[in-house]
Amino acid sequence: MRGATQQTRHLTTSKMRRLVTGVLSLTLLTTGCGGTSEAEDFSQDSLASMDQAVTCTCYYGYDQDHKPIPPSSTYCGMIVCSYAGYQFTCESSGWVAHTNQPC
């Protein structure tokens, strides 16, 4: 993830809602980083506010099992546990390592 290039693209509202719904249904990433294993129920207002905030895509990411993370499933603020044992956050500049945040 270090030194990875990053490209930004705009997601439509319907694509964003599908992405957010799909991500919320996946618990692998949150349980791997010490989060809860229960998906939270978001209101339409919450999804609408997320539509505006989620406009980046991160490339060349890998999860804790060293499997590639599809760029199409990434979004701003997404947190994953890396195979190195600490967290990365997807930001507009690309993947950012948080070496002080172990998984």
- Is 38 a domain residue? yes
Please tell me the predicted confidence (pLDDT) of residue 53. Answer: 54
Domain extent for 24: 6-102
Residue 92 inside a domain? The answer is yes
pLDDT for the residue 84: 86
Q: How many domains does the chain have?
A: 1
Residue at 44 is within a domain: yes
Distance CA 15, CA 90 (A): 18
Tokens of 16: 């964003």
- Whole-angstrom distance, CA of residue 80 vs CA of residue 15: 21
Residue 15, domain member (yes or no): yes
Residue 1 within any structural domain of the chain? no
**48 phi and psi angles, rounded to 5 deg:** -65, -40
Which residues of the chain are modeled with pLDDT < 70? 1-54
Residue 39 maps to a domain: yes
Report pLDDT digits (tens) over 53-81: 557 999 999 999 999 999 999 999 999 99
Q: Is 40 a member of any domain?
A: yes
> What is the number of residues in the chain?
103
pLDDT confidence of residue 90: 97
